[in-house]
Structure 1
């Protein structure tokens, strides 16, 4: 099993997107696809969603859902969801109730402080792996490194 290799530029692009959303008082969400040509960030159209309890959540629009469907090339798969939270990085009950990806081994990356946490690297983020019907935390360290790593030499696409 090979780890998901994320180009440094992919995380820089994600950080810029999340910080921009955070400057407007909202979280952001994106997907990471992977295939023969490596990993790529896909940011779908989204809009603020405050729900009944207020908050800073977003929802992917219908157009965004279509963008996500059309963004996959043959032999590509969405392998991770990456999204921001306004404060600490953790998997919230809303994240658990709306897993987005449900296949075995899928990753969920939660970026703290509206994306600012990525300025300090992936170790500031919560990373969870889908196992069966639940998410299991992968704290920074050797087990996470087996599943996910950042490579400054890898090219973003």
Structure 2
């Protein structure tokens, strides 16, 4: 009998894993709103087009991210919440696993615009299929 088990290509494996976290547009909305809350946002705006099938946009006044953190946020298992296994028992945030943004980026085209608190120049990132297509500085409203 010949061997039949094969490793999946990364893009296929990422889409399967993403389906465990992001099952429908409402799942993406939930994760993005929780990210805004965890970033201490006091104002959050949600824009949807076609019930979230063609656009889900969250605009908030949270703490924002550095250019490096903005890039890392889309990597699987990348999180600011956990450093050791013990941290799992003392979490007080909505998100923590470092899966949501990576899962969204695996199945959607993503544009992130962020800036650190008090900074006028931020970072814009475009991601498709978990691959960073572009990253550049951008003027923001903070």
TM-score after normalising by structure 2? 0.30
The structure with the larger Rg is 2
Q: Which structure carries more relative contact order (alpha carbon 8 Å, separation 6+)?
A: 1
TM-score after normalising by structure 1? 0.28
